Structure 1
Amino acid sequence: MRVPSISNHPNIKAAYLEKFEKRELWHKLVVKILCWKDGLLEGSSIDITNKITSKEWKTYYKKMVQTNLTYGKEKALSNLKKTQDAIRNHGGFEDTD
């Protein structure tokens, strides 16, 4: 079985790295959202200095609405509202004064 390799062309490598970095940032944001949504689990902790900013929430919200239209927009919005309420109850949003 051959593993696909990245072309040696500089533009392709740059595009691949850019996409990889975007996926990595998205993954970290989703994990952060899920951690704050679920709150503290036994034996785990959340870094309270790493709260969700309004910009991060807007990014997550927009992406989730775009990608979850399979079940309908109303269901996606309902799930986002539940997630937002759970995060707020756990104190996961950064205060914006």
Structure 2
Amino acid sequence: MLLPWPYPDDEASHAGSGRPERDDEDIRLAALVAQRLSIDWTTRRQQIVVTVQNGVVILTGRVTDPYVRQAAGELAWDVQGVSDVCNALRLAGAGRSRG
């Protein structure tokens, strides 16, 4: 998740935008999803990066097989507050040429 880096005295970036609450919720969701993935035996040893933007979980990285990819997406969906999941996980070794 990319967070804006406003100047400390920049009141315009804080006043009435509602952004800090959304960012806090996204950070909370990212932590919950990452925790869920690290606990589950299927996904705990995989290279999964969790990003959240406006309640949408984005999963990136590499996993060992399609079952793990599907399980990661389902685990992310099970976290309360997640509005959508973009499962961009790739299979390890996929796309490499063998020659």
- Relative to the length of structure 1, the TM-score reads 0.37
More helix per residue: 1 or 2?
1
More strand per residue: 1 or 2?
2
- Relative to the length of structure 2, the TM-score reads 0.37
